Structure 1
Amino acid sequence: MSEQQRSALTPEGRGEHLARLRATTAENPLDVLVVGGGVNGAGAAFDAATRGLSVGLVESHDWASGTSSRSSKLMHGGLRYLQMLDFKLVAEALRERDLLLEHTAPHLVKPIKFVFPFFKKVIDRGFIGSGVMLYDVMQSVGRKRAVPFHRHLLHDKMLEVFPALDGDKAVGALEYYDAQMDDARFVMMLVRSAAQLDASVANYTTVVDYLHEGERVVGARVRDEESGEEFDVRARHVILAGGVWTQDQQELAGADGGLEVLASKGIHVTVARDRIPAVPDTGIITQTEKSVLFIIPWDEYWVIGTTDTPWTEDPRHVGATSDDIDYVLEHANAVLKNDLTREDVIGVYSGLRPLLQPVKKGSDKGSTKVSREHTVMQVEPGLSAIAGGKYTTYRVMAEDVVDFAIKDTEPGRPSLTRSVPVIGAQGYAALVRDKSEISRRLGADEIRVDRLLFRYGSLLTDVLALIDEDPSLATPLEHAPRYLRAEVVYAARAEGARHLADVLERRTRLDYETRDRGVAAADEVAALLAPELGWDETAVRAEVEAYRGYIEARLAGEATASDAEAASRIAAAAEVPGRG
């Protein structure tokens, strides 16, 4: 079996991965078991696998189904953290961003240009200009730049670059570069990268207890949510990468202490691309009283966000309120010439940032004051946890937590993720050079081919092979023509999709790319998944009805005025049949 074949998260392969986890014993444990399939958990599994360790990775839902699929979709240094004097975090993030752009994930991460408007000619140009100058200098120390240097824009040039800005308010701007990615696909590719190196990975596999020998954690008892079977997975080291669920898992392990995590809600809305005229691949960044507002170009629409507010409800049921949506639109309209309205909103998504809590309970400090730097600690002997940090620094976080977990038993196994690319990177440049041939082969324009390359990298050859076998798969989805039918089949055959929502929300992004949140495409997508996943008519109907009910619940939440009301509406409908 080739390495690329080993990486495929097939329906049959999931059973094989579970069998390998089930086969562990006290005499033959895994070296590392990672709990949590977000970016930190997937990154830790990939890191450990590059060291030649035997690795398991389990996730109770789908890969990246929590925070890691609901970000601003940026790989960036975090310009706002310079204001907090968090120079170490910014420098680290910039270094990691450039590594992704130039070597480890050029197929998944691409440069993006931002315009930062000035509203006070002298003060803003001096203050913001000096901050971005420092940001750029930090990118240039000791290495070649991965993106262009910033430049100042006078009023007329600013409007030429971003004509949708309100020229009566903005007196000038600064233009600088960062990078963007598809967060959910990035995590799935990390999981596949770990599987390619023989890690045993299983989504929809829940930790129901932690195994102990004396005071030491020696593994976990897990439940396969597809079959209901429970079994023990033995491991020398367990790494908890639970994000906002960290404290729940620490309590499940019976730990007396551990990391304290604050959940902060961030929401984004999407609007059609033609509502905000601009030069291609150019976005806006501006500061609000609570957070930073991004207006980010993405395919045929804009992603606008975010908020930063404490969330105290069940993290499984996070959702946007009507006030959240109005807040984002209000702050976007503060810089745009033509106001956006609720009718312009195509979709909404929301997630929870897992921030370390350095202050005592009961403090009134807001989540925006909490550091984004990460911490690794031993929760119990044999159980290490990681939390905090930011998406861009996932690789450093993964390296740190694996180093910490194995420091006493495997000190001579360094991380290789600085040099080992994420799957899909090798051969990507050659495919980019062959874009015109791919366009001819598909009968598609360059825009569609660019989309496919950004989703799959060199793995696009696997998708094209499906089309060679069945040319009908080259047909776009009827109600989502941005995607080919082949992409749905590939999601089931190679990307670990187990349910309709996995495809509509994470393998594609129809839940916020279409006004109906993917509901119109649900029947066609379910029909394509059915033979791949062994669904009969009853199962197909259950998947479609569950998704429609879930979207209705989310929309109901978006009409409420409080987090408690939004969570209550969302809790009423499960995304996946049979899951609460």
Structure 2
Amino acid sequence: MIRHTPGRGSATLNGDRRTRELEALAAGRAVDVLVVGGGITGVGVALDAATRGLSVALLERDDLASGTSRWSSKLAHGGLRYLAKGDVGVAWESAAERAILVDHTAPHLIRALPQVLALRDGVSPAVGAICEAGIRMGDGLRFAARTSGRRLPRARRISAAEALRWVPALDPHGLRGALLSWDGQLEDDARLVVALARTAAQHGARIITHAPVTALHADGADAVCALTGQAVRIRARHVVSATGVWAGELAAGVSLRPSKGSHLLFHAGRLGDPAAALNVPVPGHFGRFVFALPRPDGLVLVGLTDEPYDGPPTAAPAVEEHEERFLLETISAALDRPLAAEDVVGRFAGLRPLLDTSEADGDGATADVSRRHAVIEDPGTRALTIVGGKLTTYRRMAQDVVDRIAARPGVAAGPCLTHHLPVVGAQPPQHREPGVPAGLTRRYGADAPAVLALADGRPELLEPLAPGVPAIGAEVRWAIEQEGALTAEDVLDRRTRIGLIPAWRAAAEPAVRALLAEAGLPVDPPPTAPVRSPDATGPAAWAPARSSGTLR
């Protein structure tokens, strides 16, 4: 294998580039590494391999971040929960990877999130002391990982009066104070995935969305272009499956115990426009919490369930009534005025691809299943499957995969470079160009002025897509021209996240479809039925029909 030098080329992803690169792959041009799956782990593998000098192609059955990677709690967190369970290895890995994200990878997408754990009647002094000890240990991990106290301040005890200033909706009766700690909050998980994919493309990776893989082989894979129906045989020296909860459909010997995490969304005003997150211990479940996280878009995110999921893998599982009731009741226990179902303005759930490492847990519970990751090699095809882990540790997972490839005979790969590699748009979090709205700076970083420039001569593109919707027309054009969006769902559900709120989605969809048509893209989505390559011997597409719903 001849090692090529990764270039600092174009980070542009659009329909034209996709067509050219898919045609090159269909013509038989082999790549060193084929990555299947365009979630956070898949794009992380593509970026790691490309920056080591390996030629890379990534195929995704739908769109970037169309599965679990857009349904997270939007946190780059230090693993305090895993520390409480005694899983120091995962907690340390989380803290170390959080430091890399905050200081190097995407500082513009991550900000310090204050968190309040109210010491109230429902939290005994003993439980409060245990929680405080865990938070102090988390602070120790932050210090050991060399995360600056300017980015994530130290934890401290605060008075009841200060706790109410942070979280006005707290019930003041029986409130004896609170613990204030800090963690990292992502502006948007899907935006991180897109930024990583664009950075991988900048280093030469071919990023092909809407191309389901139907079978893996020792020398590549079979795939289908969902936009044209064309069957394609991809030639590759090494294959990586990063398909999350669908991993078992492409690779033998992969056993998962998917866990379902559900969230609810509320207008921030319903909780008094909190300035900090509220963490509420789940009674009878040590180390588990339900949280209410304020978001920069005027919403509060309440989560998180952790229940075993036994159904077929799906990109958008429904939030069940009992899950919603659990979240409402648990968070309301700490509030002056309980939340009700009629307060919910949006809801979503995602599936975590947890590795099944034990058969001893007879009740099927997943709350205590380790978030450790594993790289599994198929003895027949030698394809590598990466499973487990979590969003914060995606970079370490990707490094482990590419390390396995680099250790194979004949592979000329350089050392891992992603420890200090910024994504496109990365800039100091406090930096803001004059005249650029704060919301654009938060979402696009150094690219924000270029997004704004797309409205030059067209002032209507500076207006919201619909009244009350937090996205403008220029963002849609940027998504189409630079971020590989090909359908209305790509824009609404991944590039802007308007789809999180059904009312926003319905209001903005006509404007989005009009801009797609203006760009010459099809307004209707690609076919929904799985398609099979004529000579494929494996299952149909590695995920079933496209979901019109909005998912980790």
Give yes or no for TM over 0.5: yes
Residue 235 of structure 2 is aligned to residue 234 of structure 1 = yes
Structure-to-structure mapping, 1:341-356, within 5 angstroms: 341-356=340-355
1:136 corresponding residue in structure 2: 139
Greater Cα shift, 500-509 or 112-121: 112-121
Structure-to-structure mapping, 1:149-188, within 5 angstroms: 149-181=154-186, 182-188=188-194
- Matched residue SS, 2:81: helix
2:82 corresponding residue in structure 1: 81
User: After superposition, what is the alpha-carbon deviation per residue over 1:144-167, rounded to whole angstroms, capped at 9, x for unaligned?
Assistant: 524110011132332232221112
1:567 corresponding residue in structure 2: none
**2: CA distance between counterparts of 1:267 and 1:370?**
17
Q: Does structure 1 retain, via aligned residues, the 8 Å contact 2:33–2:57? A: yes
Residue 264 of structure 2 is aligned to residue 269 of structure 1 = yes
The code of the aligned residue for 2:294 comes to P
Residue 126 of structure 2 is aligned to residue 123 of structure 1 = yes
1:489 corresponding residue in structure 2: 477
Identity of aligned residues (%): 36
TM-score, structure 1 as length reference = 0.85
Structure-to-structure mapping, 1:36-51, within 5 angstroms: 36-51=37-52
1:564 corresponding residue in structure 2: none
Residue 365 of structure 2 is aligned to residue 366 of structure 1 = yes
2:385 corresponding residue in structure 1: 385
1:206 corresponding residue in structure 2: 212
Q: Does structure 1 retain, via aligned residues, the 8 Å contact 2:64–2:209? A: yes
Deviation of 1:310 after TM superposition, in Å, equals: 1.2
2:11 corresponding residue in structure 1: 7
Deviation of 1:520 after TM superposition, in Å, equals: 2.0
Q: Does structure 2 retain, via aligned residues, the 8 Å contact 1:347–1:511? A: no
Structure-to-structure mapping, 1:299-314, within 5 angstroms: 299=296, 300-314=298-312
Q: Does structure 2 retain, via aligned residues, the 8 Å contact 1:526–1:543? A: no
**1: CA distance between counterparts of 2:450 and 2:126?**
53
Q: Does structure 2 retain, via aligned residues, the 8 Å contact 1:9–1:493? A: yes
2:196 corresponding residue in structure 1: 190
Deviation of 1:19 after TM superposition, in Å, equals: 1.9
Correspondence for 1:575 among 523, 548, 551: 548
The code of the aligned residue for 2:396 comes to V
1:398 corresponding residue in structure 2: 398
Greater Cα shift, 308-317 or 139-148: 139-148
Q: Does structure 2 retain, via aligned residues, the 8 Å contact 1:121–1:172? A: no
Correspondence for 1:478 among 466, 472, 483: 466
Correspondence for 2:508 among 521, 536, 557: 521
CA-based RMSD of the aligned residues comes to 2.4
Q: Does structure 2 retain, via aligned residues, the 8 Å contact 1:306–1:328? A: yes
Which has the bigger relative contact order, CA under 8 A and spacing at least 6? 2
- Matched residue SS, 2:455: helix
Q: Runs of 5+ in structure 2 lacking a partner?
A: 1-5, 529-543
| Residues paired across the two proteins, number | 517
- Matched residue SS, 1:483: coil
Correspondence for 1:293 among 290, 293, 303: 290
Q: Does structure 2 retain, via aligned residues, the 8 Å contact 1:121–1:171? A: no
1:530 corresponding residue in structure 2: 517
**1: CA distance between counterparts of 2:525 and 2:510?**
9
User: After superposition, what is the alpha-carbon deviation per residue over 1:41-100, rounded to whole angstroms, capped at 9, x for unaligned?
Assistant: 010001111101100101101111110000101000121111211111111111111221
- Matched residue SS, 1:410: coil
1:462 corresponding residue in structure 2: 450
Deviation of 1:200 after TM superposition, in Å, equals: 0.7
2:24 corresponding residue in structure 1: 20
- Matched residue SS, 2:146: coil
User: After superposition, what is the alpha-carbon deviation per residue over 1:398-455, rounded to whole angstroms, capped at 9, x for unaligned?
Assistant: 0001111231133652110011111111xx34x95444x224xxxxxxxxx2211121
Q: Does structure 1 retain, via aligned residues, the 8 Å contact 2:36–2:243? A: yes
1:558 corresponding residue in structure 2: none
Greater Cα shift, 109-118 or 218-227: 109-118
The code of the aligned residue for 1:43 comes to G
**1: CA distance between counterparts of 2:61 and 2:111?**
30
Structure-to-structure mapping, 1:328-347, within 5 angstroms: 328-347=327-346
Greater Cα shift, 481-490 or 30-39: 481-490
Q: Runs of 5+ in structure 1 lacking a partner?
A: 212-216, 440-448, 547-570
Structure 1 runs (4+) deviating above 6 angstroms are 2-5
Deviation of 1:286 after TM superposition, in Å, equals: 2.1
**2: CA distance between counterparts of 1:480 and 1:59?**
33
**2: CA distance between counterparts of 1:208 and 1:574?**
18
**2: CA distance between counterparts of 1:361 and 1:7?**
47
Greater Cα shift, 377-386 or 181-190: 377-386
**2: CA distance between counterparts of 1:142 and 1:73?**
21
1:561 corresponding residue in structure 2: none
Residue 441 of structure 2 is aligned to residue 438 of structure 1 = no
**2: CA distance between counterparts of 1:142 and 1:520?**
44
**Cα gap change, 1:272 to 1:314, in 2 (>3 Å):** same
- Matched residue SS, 1:416: coil
Deviation of 1:3 after TM superposition, in Å, equals: 7.6
Greater Cα shift, 10-19 or 467-476: 467-476
Q: Does structure 2 retain, via aligned residues, the 8 Å contact 1:218–1:382? A: no
Greater share of residues in helix: 1
User: After superposition, what is the alpha-carbon deviation per residue over 1:333-377, rounded to whole angstroms, capped at 9, x for unaligned?
Assistant: 111111111111110111001101112399323011210011112
- Matched residue SS, 2:470: strand
- Matched residue SS, 1:262: coil
The code of the aligned residue for 1:304 comes to V
**Cα gap change, 1:122 to 1:503, in 2 (>3 Å):** same
**Cα gap change, 1:319 to 1:114, in 2 (>3 Å):** same
Q: Does structure 1 retain, via aligned residues, the 8 Å contact 2:99–2:145? A: no
The code of the aligned residue for 1:147 comes to L
**2: CA distance between counterparts of 1:361 and 1:386?**
23
Deviation of 1:24 after TM superposition, in Å, equals: 3.4
Q: Does structure 2 retain, via aligned residues, the 8 Å contact 1:373–1:389? A: yes
**1: CA distance between counterparts of 2:306 and 2:147?**
34
- Matched residue SS, 1:193: helix
Q: Does structure 1 retain, via aligned residues, the 8 Å contact 2:105–2:422? A: yes
2:531 corresponding residue in structure 1: none
**Cα gap change, 1:67 to 1:573, in 2 (>3 Å):** closer
Residue 498 of structure 2 is aligned to residue 510 of structure 1 = yes
**Cα gap change, 1:413 to 1:308, in 2 (>3 Å):** same
**Cα gap change, 1:463 to 1:160, in 2 (>3 Å):** closer
**1: CA distance between counterparts of 2:174 and 2:525?**
49
**2: CA distance between counterparts of 1:382 and 1:189?**
30
- Matched residue SS, 1:315: coil
User: After superposition, what is the alpha-carbon deviation per residue over 1:208-244, rounded to whole angstroms, capped at 9, x for unaligned?
Assistant: 1122xxxxx1100110000000111111110111110
Deviation of 1:572 after TM superposition, in Å, equals: 11
1:283 corresponding residue in structure 2: 277
